[in-house]
Amino acid sequence: MLTGVILAGGQNRRMKGFHKALLDFQDQPIIERQILAMNDLCAEILIVTQREELFSAYLSDNIRVIPDEIKDRGPLAGMHAALAASRNQEAWIVGCDMPFISVNAAELMLQVKNQLHAHAVIPFIEGKVHTLHGIYDKNCAPMIAALLSEGENRVNKLLQVIHSVELDEQVFLEQEIDLNFVMNVNTKEDYIRAVRTNEAELK
């Protein structure tokens, strides 16, 4: 059983305060696309945010909204809250600004995690580790708490203290998984690029 986690915190400053999760993408908010994808694989979905009112329409028996237990510490704190609250041992964690999240990529990473008994499996694509489209073990929660207590906010730091596996892009390509699943939308320019990418794929 797998828990889906959508990290929907942050100030969204580069979007002038408009929440990135609610950006319209092919006639639906990004977060709605993510929920639909996760429903194919996950027994429960957690939306981590301090602004529950923005996502009340998505609540259901298997979708919960939870706040950061440790506030204003970025994605690492959101990961801690989610893993601590997860009803399952493993969680598929994504950022709320990723319109192309991939069930196939998540299934592949989950398989690798179980084979190698890792704490986490994350993609390594175009020379970059993409920590916010990864599979993480619930046992990472106390290790994250320890890092936060030391003043550490970087997710990459977590990867240094756990058994993490970086899955190279070639592994995904061999499984015919489109690498756009790691694309995120931080700025208006990113949003335009993502929309154009989607339009090209639909042709």
Q: Would you state the pLDDT for residue 191?
A: 86
Q: What is the DSSP string of 9-27?
A: -S--GGGTT--GGG-BSSS
pTM of this structure: 0.93
**pLDDT tens track for 30-69:** 999 999 999 989 999 999 998 889 999 999 999 999 998 8
| CATH number given to 2-202 | 3.90.550.10
The predicted pLDDT at position 16 comes to 55
Per-residue pLDDT tens digits for 113-127:
999 999 999 999 999
The CA distances from residue 83 to 63, 103, 172, 195, 198, in Å, are 15, 19, 25, 31, 31
- Chain position carrying tokens 């319109």: 99
C-alpha 137/C-alpha 118 separation (Å) is: 8
Q: Who wins on pLDDT, 72 or 130?
A: 130
CA 13 to chain centroid, in Å, comes to 19
Task: Determine the pLDDT at residue 200.
Answer: 72
Mean pLDDT, residues 186-203 = 81
Out of 71-80, 122-131, 155-164, pick the least confident: 71-80
- Tell whether the model's pLDDT for residue 202 goes beyond 80: no
Per-residue pLDDT, 14: 53
In this predicted structure, what is the pLDDT of residue 186? 85
Over the stretch 90-112, which tens digit does the pLDDT of each residue have? 999 999 999 999 999 999 999 99
Instruction: Specify the pairing of strand 120-125 against strand 90-95.
Output: unpaired
Which residues touch 194 (CB under 8 Å, ≥6 apart)?
A: 25, 99, 100, 183, 185
C-beta of residue 13 within 8 angstroms of C-beta of residue 186: no
Q: How far is CA 20 from CA 61, 116, 161, 196, in A?
A: 24, 34, 30, 17
Residue 72 in contact with residue 10, Cβ under 8 Å? Answer: no
Q: What is the pLDDT of residues 9-33, one digit of tens each?
A: 865 555 555 789 999 888 899 999 9
pLDDT, tens digit, 9 for 90 and up, residues 153-163: 999 999 999 99
Cβ-based neighbours of 197, under 8 Å, separated by 6 or more:
100, 180, 183
Name the more confident of 17 and 137.
137
CA-to-CA distance for 30 and 22, rounded, in angstroms?
A: 6
